[in-house]
Copies of this chain bind each other. A is one copy, B any other.
Amino acid sequence: MIKVNDNYLKLPGSYLFSTVGRKQREYEKAHPDRNVIRLSIGDVTQPLAPVILEAMHKAVDEMGQAETFRGYAPDLGYEFLRDAIAKGDYHSRGADISADEIFVSDGAKCDSSNIQEIFSLHSKIAVCDPVYPVYVDSNVMAGRTGTYDVETERWSNVIYMPCTADNDFAPELPKETPDLIYLCFPNNPTGSTITKDQLQVWVDYANKVGAVIIYDAAYEAYISEENVPHTIYECVGARTCAIELKSFSKNAGFTGVRLGYTVIPKELKCGDTALHSLWARRHGTKYNGAPYIIQRAGEAVYSREGREQLKKQVAYYMNNAKTIYQGLKKAGYQVSGGVNAPYIWLKTPDKMTSWEFFDYLLEKANVVGTPGSGFGPSGEGYFRLTAFGSYENTVEALDRIQKM
């Protein structure tokens, strides 16, 4: 008699963004006359850049001719894309990563949820609190997190590193030693970041205790300040302790195109076992590559025109971030983020809980955001707005919020 993986049954409620989406749909159904503005999920709204469209049209045409048709992609991804990544994202920053340490995938969400699979079920994970829910939930599903305490909203076998206004949203080294440390900078959801020196502390710590850092750099393109690292491999010693995840969703608007990659340096080992070879085995056995057409789109991101066109796209969203940040400030909110990240993190007013503020904002301003508590217990009393709307909607939303 078949039994289910009962770790799934331990998951409290549904996936955060599914709940946010459901609540929005219910409100819209009940109030069909209202124009609801969505600044919740980190989904982009600007069309793809011309150079990317051109690359995809060309690749589609290639797929229509026997001579240029492509079937199964190479396990790690096409060399043309891995070369462009190695050069564009690493060599240009003095980071020593080679093309054969890059694994192309269909996005950082899949990679960040699958990467835990190559580690022992007895590994102890450490996460920032608040945190992107996928890191924790994927470990819950695998059975690594112990039991859930409804009171504290914490898992018994997870190390939480609170990130609040008190520590400027930067995690401190945990007291208990973790095996796997998830870090995301620029951060989702708080929009904060840390300096290269601060990240070096984490790299040194991981090398000292024998932990592996899963470094999610999905929002790297939004870094505007000096001294904020663009990749963890800018830090000395990262090649022996860090795996980096990257996404094309936010720098190139690929949320509906689906492309990402994972870097595993060949020196990164547990005993004699190279993690690179385990992930290669997983890729070969459980994955079949990103579509050729999409990998060509990814390549175009690194072309000269691609860089120029996407710089403008990122600037567009960062102008929204500024609009939100300043608009909230003006309305008297306590705000952070929005400078090196497309996320603005605000303290809810009048001691409202995050979900109370969600309902309040939806009701009074017809604006959808994401409750901070959905990202972890230390997110309670906070709220996330994203800069990925259109400029017009963003201005309108802030106008409404100021009038609340």
Judge whether A257 and B291 touch: CB under 8 Å.
Answer: yes
Contacts of A122 in B (CB 8 A): 3
A45 to B50, CA, bound (A): 30
Kindly report which residue of chain B lies nearest to residue A142, judged by CB atoms.
B117
Verify if A281 is at the interface (C-beta below 8 Å from B).
yes
* Interchain CB contact (< 8 A) of A2 among B46, B60, B106, B211: B211
A199 to chain B, nearest CB (A): 19
Contacts of A84 in B (CB 8 A): none
Of A60, A117, A285, A390, chain B has the most CB atoms within 10 Å of the CB of A285
Given A119-B3, A120-B3, A285-B137, residue A53 in contact with residue B46 (CB < 8 A):
no
Judge whether A281 and B8 touch: CB under 8 Å.
Answer: yes
Contact-residue bracket for chain A = 35 or more
Judge whether B75 and A47 touch: CB under 8 Å.
Answer: no
Judge whether A71 and B53 touch: CB under 8 Å.
Answer: no
1/0 contact trace for A1-38 toward B, CB 8 Å? 11111101101001100100000000000000000000
Kindly report which residue of chain B lies nearest to residue A48, judged by CB atoms.
B63
Judge whether B119 and A2 touch: CB under 8 Å.
Answer: yes
Judge whether B120 and A6 touch: CB under 8 Å.
Answer: yes
Verify if A292 is at the interface (C-beta below 8 Å from B).
yes
Judge whether A209 and B138 touch: CB under 8 Å.
Answer: no
Judge whether A286 and B47 touch: CB under 8 Å.
Answer: no
Contacts of A75 in B (CB 8 A): 18
Kindly report which residue of chain B lies nearest to residue A177, judged by CB atoms.
B1
Judge whether B281 and A14 touch: CB under 8 Å.
Answer: yes
Verify if A94 is at the interface (C-beta below 8 Å from B).
no
Contacts of A289 in B (CB 8 A): 256, 258
Count of this chain's copies in the oligomeric assembly: 2
A394 to chain B, nearest CB (A): 14
Contacts of A107 in B (CB 8 A): 288
1/0 contact trace for A88-110 toward B, CB 8 Å? 00000000000000000011011
A253 to B57, CA, bound (A): 18
For chain A, residues 255 to 306, give those with C-beta under 8 angstroms from any C-beta of chain B: 255-258, 270-271, 273, 275, 278, 281-282, 284-294
Of A9, A64, A143, chain B has the most CB atoms within 10 Å of the CB of A64
Given A285-B137, A285-B138, residue A121 in contact with residue B5 (CB < 8 A):
yes
* Interchain CB contact (< 8 A) of A106 among B46, B106, B138, B255: B106
Verify if A118 is at the interface (C-beta below 8 Å from B).
yes
Contacts of A288 in B (CB 8 A): 106-107, 109-110, 255, 258
Judge whether A278 and B210 touch: CB under 8 Å.
Answer: no
A120 to B77, CA, bound (A): 32
Verify if A61 is at the interface (C-beta below 8 Å from B).
yes
Verify if A69 is at the interface (C-beta below 8 Å from B).
yes
Of A18, A53, A114, A255, chain B has the most CB atoms within 10 Å of the CB of A255
Contacts of A118 in B (CB 8 A): 4-5, 8
Contacts of A361 in B (CB 8 A): none
For chain A, residues 215 to 261, give those with C-beta under 8 angstroms from any C-beta of chain B: 253, 255-258
Contacts of A123 in B (CB 8 A): 2-3
Judge whether A113 and B285 touch: CB under 8 Å.
Answer: yes
Contacts of A273 in B (CB 8 A): 4, 9
Offer 24 A-B interface pairs, CB within 8 angstroms, sorted by A. Answer: A1-B211, A3-B122, A3-B270, A4-B270, A4-B273, A5-B119, A15-B284, A41-B72, A45-B71, A46-B69, A47-B66, A48-B64, A50-B64, A53-B61, A63-B257, A71-B253, A71-B255, A71-B256, A106-B258, A114-B286, A256-B292, A257-B292, A291-B294, A293-B293
